[in-house]
Structure 1
Amino acid sequence: MTHADVEAPVQVTVADGIAHLTLDNPTRKNAISLGMAQLINEFCHRVEGDDSIGGVVIDARGDYFCSGADTRDLAASSADPASTEAVRRTSAVYDTFVRIGSLPVPTVSVVIGGAVGAGLNLALATDVMLVTPDTVLDSGFLARGIHPGGGHFSLLGRTLNRQQAMVHGVLGVPLSGTDAVRLGLAWKAFPEHTIRTEATALLDRVSRDPDLARRTKRSADLELGPTAASWPAAVELERGAQMWSLGRKSAGGWKKKPPRSVVE
């Protein structure tokens, strides 16, 4: 099944076990407005409730992934930042990152052009980030004279060490896609004309077995942290899910060779 609403600033398609969310506000470099945040939350709700989905790709239309939160909303919040309305505005955007990061299936972001501030948070909330060599990843908050938000340092600290996170997030040094891969912030860099195909290929195996993908993703989340489980605890944590998968496969299932992955 495929679906897309051509009027919306966020496009959603679901096909062959993979859900695609595309930011579609290119005239503002896909800055996240309150309306877009609501649509992202609706997308997450759909993925959570559809057991036929085994993976998610998040990308953007145009030549820039995401320039952050919409500055018009930030300006409105700056008038009285402690007000209920201002907190609601910022929370609406930042909560989308938590929703993306909590999805029950593997997620891949495709970052072309650049990601700044809240846009970088969105990319970091996914399990795997793909970039082009000349993608620019920029913390960006301090350049605008504001403190980072959305759990920015926690997201950076999932892959960067403390010194790297300080240089990027506190000192404001941007990273190219090539540098991001070298530091482990992104998985791989691909040319722009192939990167979306590579993202889909990366999810090929999980898209064909969504039930197993969801159980495996849950174990990975519990074991890897941010508060990582000990090895003995991880052995016990995985036991039930592995027993389920063994029972589903059955003794006869071992006679069949698994399908070859397109990324191997």
Structure 2
Amino acid sequence: MIETSFDRGTARLTLNNPGRKNAITQEMASSMRAFCARVHADDAIGAVIVDAEGGYFCSGADTRDLAASSSDPASPEAVERTSAVYDAFVGVGSLPVPTISLVAGGAVGAGLNLALATDLMLVTPDAILDSGFLARGIHPGGGHLALLGRAVGHRQAVALGVLGVPLSGTEAVRRGLAWAAVEHGDLLDTATRLVEKAAADPALARRVKNSAALELGPPAVPWSAAVEIERGVQMWSLGRKGHDGWARKPSEHGVRGGGS
């Protein structure tokens, strides 16, 4: 119920449980963790795309698991079930390469957490992004409010997570929650173009992603600290490029400007 592919520097994770709107089952959560472990271990991977089959991104954790946990939520079994789903999208959010989620149809609850765990979100204009927890009569979980706050700030996080206001894909872009709204058939091509440079140079992409995590946080660091974080890694990239590398035209390595 999880499909994966690895091609020319890009790893793709596809949820494939369309009969339940790609709700995350325990089996799927386990497969997602295994996928993340492979990305960490494979230095040839420079980018990750997360999408789903069936025209709907993810309706959250499987309600059958939620129902089972509700009978005794403090039991070790219930904690283990819930933690497995948390660990799946936390794993995606901790990947060492840039990540993009492709949200068609909708993302609700833990499904929205998964989308928010990626670095960038592409949506269809009519997609519905919905916290969903309040509608089900339960408290948000998996760091949902922190993910929302990191993406759109305190006030908008309250609107989505505390008041349960849903957003369309178009509105999500306007409010800064998603990068762009494109038609369903264009999602994958758009994402592939966005990750092209990272996929072509995984070693550099991993170092830039690590610097971004250190500098942007949360918590973010001051500019003076960011200068020092970037200093050594830029020196590494200069040494890798070498003196003769500058003789090539910018079009040969996808660079249009200078550096520093």
Taking structure 2 as the reference length, what is the TM-score of the superposition? 0.96
Residue in structure 2 matched with residue 186 of structure 1 by the alignment:
178
Residue in structure 2 matched with residue 85 of structure 1 by the alignment:
77
Identity of aligned residues (%): 65
Residue in structure 1 matched with residue 5 of structure 2 by the alignment:
13
Offset at residue 246 of structure 1 (A): 0.3
1:11-54: per-residue Cα shift (whole Å, max 9, x none)?
00000100000000000000000000000000000000001100
Trace 1:1-264 onto structure 2 (pairs within 5 A).
9-259=1-251
Is the 2:10–2:49 Cα contact (8 Å) retained in structure 1? yes
Offset at residue 160 of structure 1 (A): 0.9
Offset at residue 242 of structure 1 (A): 0.4
Offset at residue 257 of structure 1 (A): 2.3
For 2:114 and 2:195, locate their aligned partners in 1 and report how far apart those are by CA, in whole Å: 19
What SS class does the counterpart of residue 28 from structure 2 fall into? Answer: helix
What SS class does the counterpart of residue 69 from structure 1 fall into? Answer: coil
Offset at residue 162 of structure 1 (A): 1.2
Offset at residue 76 of structure 1 (A): 0.5
Offset at residue 251 of structure 1 (A): 1.2
Unaligned runs of 5+ in 2: 255-260
Equivalent pairs counted in the alignment come to 254
Offset at residue 98 of structure 1 (A): 1.2
Kindly report the root-mean-square deviation, in angstroms, between the aligned alpha carbons of the 2 structures: 1.1
Offset at residue 258 of structure 1 (A): 3.2
Q: Which residue identity does 2:27 align to in structure 1?
A: G
What SS class does the counterpart of residue 138 from structure 2 fall into? Answer: coil
What SS class does the counterpart of residue 51 from structure 2 fall into? Answer: strand
Unaligned runs of 5+ in 1: 1-8
Q: Which residue identity does 1:231 align to in structure 2?
A: W
For 2:41 and 2:250, locate their aligned partners in 1 and report how far apart those are by CA, in whole Å: 28
Offset at residue 111 of structure 1 (A): 0.3
For 2:21 and 2:249, locate their aligned partners in 1 and report how far apart those are by CA, in whole Å: 46
1:228-254: per-residue Cα shift (whole Å, max 9, x none)?
011000000111110000000011111
For 1:106 and 1:161, locate their aligned partners in 2 and report how far apart those are by CA, in whole Å: 22
Task: Identify, as 1 or 2, the structure richer in helix.
Answer: 2
Q: Which residue identity does 1:161 align to in structure 2?
A: G
Is the 2:55–2:105 Cα contact (8 Å) retained in structure 1? yes
Is the 2:116–2:151 Cα contact (8 Å) retained in structure 1? no
Taking structure 1 as the reference length, what is the TM-score of the superposition? 0.95
